[in-house]
Amino acid sequence: MKILSGQSLPNMPWQEKPAGCREAIWRYSGNPIIGRDGNKRSNSVFNSAVVPFGDGYAGVFRCDSRSISMDLFAGFSKDGYHWQINDEPIQFIGADAEIAPREYRYDARITMMDGKYYVTWCNGYHGPTIGVAWTEDFKTFHQLENAFLPFNRNGVLFPRKVNGMYMMLSRPSDNGHTPFGDIYLSQSRDLEFWGRHRFVFSTVKSDASAWQSTKVGPGPAPIETDEGWLLIYHGVITTCNGFVYRMGVALLDKDEPWKVKYRSKDYLMAPWELYECVGDVPNVVFPCAALTDKDTGRIAVYYGCADTVTGLAFTTVDELVNFAKEHAL
């Protein structure tokens, strides 16, 4: 398996798969890596994206405040584990005056492309839609137009153009907690006007894979391999006690990434640990970043736990591709 995206991540606190572990992904022993008090006024720090930056890492963090407002904060780390998160939220500049006022911002993803870091997030504009911005230094963030009409969540950019087009995955939704949702792909020449929308995949309405029967949504930016684009996503089931969020993995076609080559029937990771099962919203694992070590194929996944704290887990490109194939729907 050849890895075509990613870079060297030498200072990540990698851990080998524990002896006897039967999972394709394993949690970092220091989890949760960021607690509720990630910055001065935070109630919770979760569903956040990080990337390699300089000789360490940078990120865009969802910190819900103690008045429970949802906003995005830049943060920095030398080792991917200890984080300093700013106390003041990101002030985006350059947006058209019509869309600039903040309603709420949450669940960022970051994609590195052409020397810039592109941030996409759930952006309140008469309902949730996809905000887009870029930064070079995690200090100044330049906001572009919203990608779509409301209502939409989970906008995730591919790390390069495919067939000359920027590509974004997203999950059209409603204005509430959305009891439905399939993944779509949209294309753009300029990161402003999006079209050529294509269906990618939907929920599974049978017990062949019931954990993803209510809604599915793209997670981190897809990872490029010679066999296709590796996508970690979330899948949701409705139980008598509410939604349960789990992680799955799919392999998308290299040139037509709306075509699914493999998709896992079994979940990749589920809320099992106490910090994933107990919190402001219990039973949620929500992946937003997957950093790939180009030299070794190791992957570090950052994920929100129970809408309260942030977890880190490790896997490899081979583990994920084999899992998608061996447990294919």
- List residues near ligand BMA by CB under 6 A: 47, 106-107, 177, 245, 281, 284, 286, 304, 307
Q: How far is CA 33 from CA 40, 203, 297, in A?
A: 17, 31, 22
- H helix runs in the chain, sequence order: 274-277, 317-326
Give the nearer residue to ligand BMA in terms of CB position, either 3 or 147: 147
Supply the minimum distance, in Å, between the C-beta of residue 238 and ligand BMA. 12
Sheet bearing 26-27, strands edge to edge: 26-27, 309-316, 298-305, 285-292
Give the nearer residue to ligand BMA in terms of CB position, either 83 or 286: 286
Instruction: Identify any residues that bridge with 252 across adjacent strands, giving them in sequence order.
Output: 229, 260
Residue at shortest CB range from ligand BMA: 281
Give the nearer residue to ligand BMA in terms of CB position, either 33 or 317: 33
- Exposure on the CB side of residue 113, measured as CA atoms within 13 A: 22
Supply the minimum distance, in Å, between the C-beta of residue 24 and ligand BMA. 22
Token pair of 211, please?
């954990």
Q: How far is CA 233 from CA 83, 104, 222, 241, in A?
A: 25, 23, 10, 22
Supply the minimum distance, in Å, between the C-beta of residue 62 and ligand BMA. 7
Nearest to 311 by CA among 22, 53, 31: 31
Give the nearer residue to ligand BMA in terms of CB position, either 107 or 293: 107
Supply the minimum distance, in Å, between the C-beta of residue 117 and ligand BMA. 21
Give the nearer residue to ligand BMA in terms of CB position, either 61 or 258: 61
Supply the minimum distance, in Å, between the C-beta of residue 180 and ligand BMA. 12
Give the nearer residue to ligand BMA in terms of CB position, either 47 or 225: 47
Supply the minimum distance, in Å, between the C-beta of residue 127 and ligand BMA. 13
Q: How far is CA 160 from CA 58, 174, 227, 267, 314, in A?
A: 20, 29, 16, 28, 24
Supply the minimum distance, in Å, between the C-beta of residue 329 and ligand BMA. 23
Q: What share of the chain is helix, strand, coil (3-state, %, to 5)?
A: 5, 50, 45
Angle of CA points 305, 204, 147, to nearest 5°: 65
Give the nearer residue to ligand BMA in terms of CB position, either 57 or 121: 121
Nearest to 287 by CA among 321, 248, 316: 248
265: CB partners within 8 A, 6+ apart:
208, 209, 327, 328, 329
